A and B are shown apart, each in its own frame.
Chain A
Amino acid sequence: MIVKIKNQKALWLILPVFVLVAFSSLIPLMTIVNYSIQDIFDVNNAYYVGTDWFREVLADPRLRDSLVRQFGFSASVLLIEIPLGIGVALMMPKSGRLASLCLVVLAVPLLIPWNVVGTIWQIYGRADIGLMGSALTSMGFDYNYASDPVDAWLTVLVMDVWHWTSLVALLCFSGLRAIPAAYYQAAQIDRASGWSVFRYIQLPKLKNVLVIAILLRFMDSFMIYAEPFVLTGGGPGNSTTFLSQTLTKMAIGQFDLGPAAAFSLIYFLIILAVSYVFFTTITQMDKER
């Protein structure tokens, strides 16, 4: 950790970054705040409505449903991806060419544009032309992600696991690599079982990495948009419509500016809270290091 010196002139170095990000962040945010407390018909006819939109939004069953669905989705994603990611990282070879190869293969899903991820699973999952779809159908499952809500939900979930478990695995792998060999030698001398090596050596060392992984996965799954949009279009019905899509529908599809803005602010506050947890955890870790 570098000892930093006090120097107010350093603000000048930040200025370009601040201006660029503020342009795309503060102005739209203020616009949203503006929309969320007014009823706007045109430029000259805007009426202050106070917290009406917020009350309307919080009482809207459509939004509550998509919020519940979103939390359910994020929770299932975390419950599957974190253990699976740890498992994959543990199974990987520790070093050498094979390890590099594994790293690159793992990274492939992460480098695919999000809408193409949706396209891939669309092609893969359809019963008529897809490998997975036709395999499941020929095994006797009544599988159709376009008409059955449960199938659709499961497909989106498997797609997300496919897409993002690699991230958890990569983070855990670099966490495991940081454990000194002496720890394992000591465990061998003590005749520790494989489980206790994992429980008392690897897991504690993975703690920091896992916190980052959980937070990142929560954030990313919380803003998922393009993949389910392409795969299922949010359907059948609303079964795979998550927060971002509900919001986009409201703002751009139906042009309900007031409620959409109020909803945006609530969404933003949730994100802000999680970001804060992320930030304090990270700075705490930097200090310990």
Chain B
Amino acid sequence: MKMKKGYTLGLSLYLVFLLLPVYWLVVMSFKTNEEILGQLTLWPQTFSFDNYVTIFTDPSWYMGYINSMTYVAINVVITLITALPAAYAFSRYNFLGDKHLFFWLLTNKMSPPAIALLPFFQLYSSVGLFDTHIAVALAHCLFSIPLAVWILEGFMSGVPREIDETAYIDGYSFPRFFITIFMPMIRSGIGVTAFFTFMFSWVELLMARTLTSVDAKPIGAIMTRTVGAAGVDWGLLAAAGVLTIIPGCLVVWFVRNHIARGFALGRL
């Protein structure tokens, strides 16, 4: 298929528009603050890793990453374990209130966290979970579980139910069938779901910030609070930002063909 010249030009312009701000962030993270505030340079004149060294040696910085990673990991595990059977039920069976439940899950994914922020805080404080990783993980389940159920249901509906029936005739129990036959069949779906659960939990800040104060404070909150204390350390801020982008960029290549599906909650 021949590519039209105008198309290539337009597309390139758009991709430049997308990448320029990111480029600027990355470049700035390698500059010293004197250079940042001094004059505008398109490329760091003195290439400096100081900002990254600061982040990796100062616990108040790198603990933010560890905290974020911890609650995101817990969230992914909880979400996958609970969403798999639920998605199977939605894709295979009719039962009392199935459509309503499915819709109810969707509303939780769509609701702005701001709506219930204060009750959230009170609820998790009253059960003694405030400022723990598990609290943020559980709170993020509010949107990650609906997302996972929707995506998985989409993938599972693509598997014909004859497979289930054959397995039962062959004498497989439900758990054995599910783990040894069914899950391998939808492994790409599980991978995509894990990626999106990870992603949405990683980019969320409002809930994570509300439910933590010291011990489980996410990197996003550390970034916003450090800024403004004694002027803004732009280089450090940029470096911290770059480090939050990296995890997503590392794994996005594997799910590139399913990105649209994931963002559309498993439809398409």
Q: Which positions in A face B, CB cutoff 8 Å?
A: 1-11, 13-14, 16-18, 20-21, 23-25, 27-29, 31-32, 35, 87-88, 90-94, 100, 102-116, 119-121, 123-124, 128-132, 134, 162, 166-167, 170-171, 173-175, 209, 212-213, 216, 219, 222-223, 225-226, 230, 243-245, 247-248, 251-252, 257, 260, 264, 267-268, 271-272, 274-276, 278-279, 282-283, 285-286
Contacts and interface: CB of A to CB of B under 8 A. Distances in A.
21 contacts: A20-B82, A24-B141, A25-B111, A28-B116, A88-B11, A91-B7, A107-B252, A108-B18, A111-B203, A113-B205, A113-B220, A115-B223, A119-B223, A120-B25, A132-B21, A171-B263, A216-B264, A225-B112, A248-B206, A264-B114, A267-B114
Interface stretch (B45-53, B118-126, B184-192): B118-126
B115 A10 contact: no
Which 10 A-B pairs give the minimum distances between C-beta atoms? A111-B248, A223-B112, A28-B119, A28-B116, A10-B93, A13-B89, A31-B119, A244-B114, A10-B89, A174-B260
B22 A104 contact: no
Contacts of A245: 114
Contacts of A110: 259, 263
B93 A7 contact: yes
Contacts of B93: 4-7, 10
B214 interface: no
Given A17-B105, A105-B15, A124-B25, 7 more contacts: A21-B146, A107-B256, A115-B220, A216-B264, A223-B113, A225-B113, A264-B115
Contacts of A24: 120, 123, 138-139, 141-142
Interface in B14-46: 14-15, 17-22, 24-25, 28, 36-37, 40, 42
Contact of B18 (A25, A166, A219): A166
Nearest to B162: A2
Given A5-B92, A111-B249, A103 B18 contact: no
Contacts, number: 289
Contacts of A9: 95
B117 A123 contact: no
Contacts of A274: 110
Contacts of A28: 116, 119-120, 123
Q: Is the interface of A mostly helix, strand, loop or mixed?
A: helix
Contacts of B120: 24, 28
A4 to B, nearest CB: 5
A131 B20 contact: yes
B86 A120 contact: no
A88 B115 contact: no
B259 A225 contact: no
B197 interface: no
A252 B207 CA distance: 13
B101 interface: yes
Contact of A115 (B112, B146, B161, B224): B224
Contact of B160 (A2, A23, A90, A212): A2
B245 interface: yes
